[in-house]
A and B are shown apart, each in its own frame.
Chain A
Amino acid sequence: MTELLRIRDLSVVYKTRRGTAYGVNGVSLDLEENKTLGLAGESGCGKSTLGRAIIRLVPYPGQIASGEISLNIEREILCGGGVIRKGMTNLMELNDEQMRSLRGCEIAYIFQDPMTSLNPMRSIGKHFEELMRAHDPTVKKEAAVERAKEILEGLGISPERVLDYPHQFSGGMRQRVMIGLGLALQPKLLIADEPTTSLDVIVEAQILRQVAELKAKFDLTMILITHNLGVLAQTADSIAIMYAGRIVEVADTGSLFESPQHPYTQALLESVPDVSKPEKRLTWIPGAPPDLTRPIPGCMYNPRCPHVMDICKEVNPQLVPSKTGGLVACHLYDGG
């Protein structure tokens, strides 16, 4: 098993008028090749910020404060200022131009809302053309259009639609176009940020199946960001649960669903509706998501946790190995 992505102590801060908020707070993560990691948590927990930090495009006014993001680059990449070498490379040490040449080429990113993710002024073919030419200026226009047709056909979109504009496509088709754009240059890592959240369930199932096929075909490694645990149950090899900018639990998908360790994970799974057990009342997590600009001492989850102990209000728990083979950050398990 080769390591593809290694994140160490990554912190992203948002400097706002109300104070500094840690959108991502000291996150460490490892990802092996050809695996799918699910990143889950409630809105505002920092999962999208983490995804955007990996391509170093944190939304304004956020910025990466510290940490290491290392990617195993498998081919030499030519860019304006020279060559990016093969091997483990800390993305934080690359300059803007080098980083730009990695985006779309080694790392692809798919966004939540396909309706607004394509440039309304550009035809679909033009999207492919400018992507290819941005990474290799020698590509001819005709060759790019031919390649675009091939990709569209592979995604089940008729190739003559290459000249059409985004507004002439449905939401599901646009998301397929986005996937096509993401995979056009055969990246190693695909980050999908809620790729099916704004689509209806039938289209969602189609897209997820297509992504799974493409992942196998292109040996992709994937980070799937979602709040929909059902989606992760079908697609992810392992799952990381985030809360208040930190990872609170990482486990294989199977063991996470069978025996969730962290009280937050347990509560999250409880609150998923289950149609096979209509007698089960839907539960929710009491209290509100934490205010990241007003960090509290100890574990950020302690005001909402049913198992809260004295130490939880003083010491922040670190990730420790759990008995299911994963990692968990909770004082119930670290002997504290």
Chain B
Amino acid sequence: MSLRSFIVSRVLLTIPMIFVLLTLVFVILRIIPGDPALLHFERGVSPEVLAEFRARLGLDRPIWEQYVNYIAGLFRGDFGLSMQDYSPISQHIAIRFPATLELTIYAMLFAVLLGVFLGVKSSKRYNSTRDVSIRLFGIVTYAIPVFFLGMLLQLVFSVWLGWFPSGLRFNPRYHLPPPVTGLYTIDSILAGDFYAFLISFQYLLLPSVTLGTVLCGIFIRLTRTNMLETLRMDFVVAGEARGLSEGTITYGYALKNAFLPIMTMIGLQFAALLAGAVLTETTFSWPGLGRYLIDRIYYRDYTAIQGTVVFFGILVTLVTLVVDVLYAIIDPRIRL
């Protein structure tokens, strides 16, 4: 099978997956006991107000019609209306999501680079002092609650040293670069505004290092375990016996073959991070989508929850798709 036909068939497989996901979210939110409209208002609300509320959100229709409208709406990029003020949820997502995405990308980058590097170093000297201390570092950082590490870094680098701001995404006294992607670092590069890039990076650094440090423990252990396995394999020894350099052996032979499970983990963690950076976003007042979701849950804003969860679900499915395609590009055997 060629790479192209592999990608096409993998994309086609994604369609039923997303469909099942959408249906599940729809069903679960309707199984939950309690009438969302009643819960939304104070006790003793007039029936007219209730009826109007239901009509505007489409909750007065039969279930099957609600389902059809919901699916049809998603095809148009319509994630429904918020119960609070009838504002389109897609708008909220459009504003909040780039913040979460930017944080996630930088945190992942930090976690993977540091984790894989330390994991490789660790595996090369099995059971040495270096190995043990790197493993200890991985366990300790993984065990630290993310908000605690965040607060610690805020205390040291914002309060004591004053090097980095302790929250928000950008300096309110400086004007933002024109929005293109919504990722401030990329927008400012596109606009050629180096100063704006520095500012956005300065604001990004603490939250992404916090999130990345907590994550890198997973990558240290995963890289180390898989490297130890591949370093023992015949082709690694055979490569050494041909006099290849240590760098080729470590990175081109062992790491490249140990990388598939690491990539799976990158995909899984990336998806989990997009949805789960809530604590970091709260600690650093980061205006992301995770905080929006928590906010909506407090208000029992069912339609907003549905819209946001569906968005996250589709995102996770797409990330998995990308990981699978990358698999095939990296490993020639999967294309078979």
Point out the residues of chain A lying under 8 angstroms from B234, CB to CB: 111, 113, 116-117
**Shortest beta-carbon distance, B249 to chain A, in Å?**
10
Cβ contact within 8 Å between A121 and B256: yes
In the assembled complex, A102 has its CB within 8 A of some CB on chain B: yes
**Shortest beta-carbon distance, A34 to chain B, in Å?**
22
Cβ contact within 8 Å between A119 and B257: yes
**Shortest beta-carbon distance, B335 to chain A, in Å?**
10
In the assembled complex, B43 has its CB within 8 A of some CB on chain A: no
Query: How far apart sit A84 and B256, CA to CA, in the bound complex (Å)?
Result: 32
Cβ contact within 8 Å between A60 and B126: yes
In the assembled complex, B28 has its CB within 8 A of some CB on chain A: no
In the assembled complex, B243 has its CB within 8 A of some CB on chain A: yes
In the assembled complex, A298 has its CB within 8 A of some CB on chain B: no
Cβ contact within 8 Å between A109 and B241: yes
Point out the residues of chain A lying under 8 angstroms from B241, CB to CB: 55, 57, 103-104, 108-109, 111
Cβ contact within 8 Å between A167 and B332: yes
**Shortest beta-carbon distance, A182 to chain B, in Å?**
8
In the assembled complex, B252 has its CB within 8 A of some CB on chain A: yes
Point out the residues of chain A lying under 8 angstroms from B330, CB to CB: 121
**Shortest beta-carbon distance, A171 to chain B, in Å?**
13
Query: How far apart sit A55 and B240, CA to CA, in the bound complex (Å)?
Result: 10
In the assembled complex, B333 has its CB within 8 A of some CB on chain A: yes
Chain A 75-117 against B: per-residue CB contact (8 Å), 1 yes, 0 no?
Answer: 0000000000000000000000000111111001101010011
Cβ contact within 8 Å between B237 and A118: no
Q: Kindly identify which residue among A101, A121, A181 contacts B332, using a CB–CB cutoff of 8 Å.
A: A121
Cβ contact within 8 Å between B237 and A59: yes
Considering only CB atoms, which chain A residue lies closest to B242 in the complex?
A104
Q: Kindly identify which residue among A59, A60, A116, A130 contacts B244, using a CB–CB cutoff of 8 Å.
A: A130
Query: How far apart sit A122 and B239, CA to CA, in the bound complex (Å)?
Result: 12
In the assembled complex, A239 has its CB within 8 A of some CB on chain B: no
In the assembled complex, B5 has its CB within 8 A of some CB on chain A: no
Point out the residues of chain B lying under 8 angstroms from A130, CB to CB: 244, 248, 252
Cβ contact within 8 Å between A103 and B242: yes
Point out the residues of chain B lying under 8 angstroms from A104, CB to CB: 241-244
Point out the residues of chain A lying under 8 angstroms from B232, CB to CB: 60
- Which residues of B (289-336) have their CB < 8 Å from a CB of A? 330-333, 336
- Which residues of B (133-183) have their CB < 8 Å from a CB of A? none
Cβ contact within 8 Å between A116 and B233: yes
Query: How far apart sit A100 and B247, CA to CA, in the bound complex (Å)?
Result: 12
Query: How far apart sit A284 and B289, CA to CA, in the bound complex (Å)?
Result: 74
Cβ contact within 8 Å between B242 and A131: yes
**Shortest beta-carbon distance, A81 to chain B, in Å?**
13
Point out the residues of chain A lying under 8 angstroms from B331, CB to CB: 120-121
Residues of A within 8 A of B (CB): 55, 57, 59-60, 100-105, 108-109, 111, 113, 116-123, 130-131, 134-135, 165, 167, 178, 181-182
Residues of B within 8 A of A (CB): 126, 232-235, 237-246, 248, 252-253, 256-257, 330-333, 336
What are 24 A-B interface contacts by the 8 Å CB criterion?
A57-B240, A57-B241, A60-B126, A100-B246, A101-B243, A102-B243, A103-B241, A104-B243, A104-B244, A111-B237, A111-B238, A113-B234, A116-B235, A117-B235, A118-B235, A119-B253, A119-B257, A120-B235, A120-B333, A121-B256, A121-B331, A123-B332, A165-B332, A165-B333
The 5 closest A-B pairs by CB, nearest first: A104-B242, A104-B243, A103-B243, A109-B241, A116-B234
